[in-house]
Amino acid sequence: MEKLDREAIAAMRRSYGEKGLESLPADPFKAFADWLFEAHQNPFIVEANAMVLSTLGTTANGVGEAISTRTVLLKDISEGGFTFFTNYSSRKAHAIELNSQVTLLFPWYPMERQVSISGFAEKVSEQESSEYFATRPWSSKIGAWASAQSAPLASRAELEERFKGASEKWPEGTDVPRPPHWGGYRITPISIEFWQGRYSRLHDRLRYERSNTTSDWEVTRYYP
Ligand SMILES: Cc1cc2nc3c(=O)[nH]c(=O)nc-3n(C[C@H](O)[C@H](O)[C@H](O)COP(=O)(O)O)c2cc1C
């Protein structure tokens, strides 16, 4: 099979556009909603609501601290935060219980854009989780019962077996309850940075940070 050699990898680069980031709305949620809409419209971006979540937890043996990172889907923007849904027994959930500070990254490369968010995660209400769970397709609901997310799994067959067991308990067409270990986290941001690629690596970076004295946002431009 062909592969990229060292020179080819080192030579991988694109030059970015002319379109600049002169100013953004005063409200970062408005700015984010505009960019999310544009990303969703862009035919080269699949899953514009996919975001990379980083957490700080412990190592597998519990001795030291360990950063871990993975993709999750943004499912709501409300009450001043960004919400995703997951398994409350997963590795990320354990990390959040230990340290609620997390980061989110939206990598919208085809638009030469990224948004990075730093904030604090907390569980959404059980009612909110149940309401969203009810909107999921039947197979996703059964999947949530079948998966002990982040735990070691002996074989693929074991997972399929658990899926079958849950689907016999709640056949298609019946109401599937939300598993108690499944729900949402809302991330309340303390900073939101918008990055737009520009020519000659002179990119634009505008970061909203919560003012220490008021609840307002201060916007600072940073060197690229
Ligand atoms: C595009 C994409 C979307 C995903 N969305 C979610 C999600 O919304 N919730 C979730 O728990 N896992 C999601 N995953 C799986 C996670 O990346 C991860 O593998 C899983 O949550 C276990 O992570 P953990 O062991 O670090 O807790 C998604 C993966 C991809 C590639």
* 61 C-beta neighbours (distance < 10 Å), count: 6
| Distances, alpha carbon 24 to alpha carbons 158, 187, 207, in Å | 50, 22, 10
The two structure tokens encoding residue 18: 């002319």
- Nearest-atom number in ligand 1 for the CA of 93 is 27
This prediction has a pTM of 0.95
The tokens describing 218, both together, are 């201060």
- Per the CB < 8 A criterion, the answer to whether 197 and 112 are in contact is yes
pLDDT tens for each residue of 102-130: 999 999 999 999 999 999 999 999 999 99
pLDDT at 147: 96
What are the boundaries of each domain within the chain? 19-136+179-221
Average pLDDT score over residue span 177-184: 98
| Contact assessment for residue 113 and residue 194, using Cβ atoms and an 8 Å cutoff | yes
% pLDDT > 90, the chain: 87
From 179, 93, 95, 173, select the one nearest 139 (Cα to Cα): 173
CA distance 44 to 33: 18
Question: Ligand 1 centroid to 51 CA: how many Å?
Answer: 10
Name the band, by pLDDT with cuts 50, 70 and 90, for residue 60: confident
**CA 86 to centroid of ligand 1, rounded, Å:** 8
Residues classed as catalytic: 201
Judged by average pLDDT, the poorest of 91-95, 97-101, 180-184, 197-201 is 197-201
CATH match for 19-136+179-221 among 3.30.800.10, 3.40.47.10, 1.10.1270.20, 2.30.110.10: 2.30.110.10
C-alpha to C-alpha distances, 201 to 107, 204, 223, nearest whole angstrom: 17, 9, 10
pLDDT at residue 21 in the model: 86
Cβ proximity of 207 and 193 under 8 Å: yes
Atom index in ligand 1 nearest the CA of residue 84 equals 8
Residue 212 has pLDDT above 90, yes or no: no
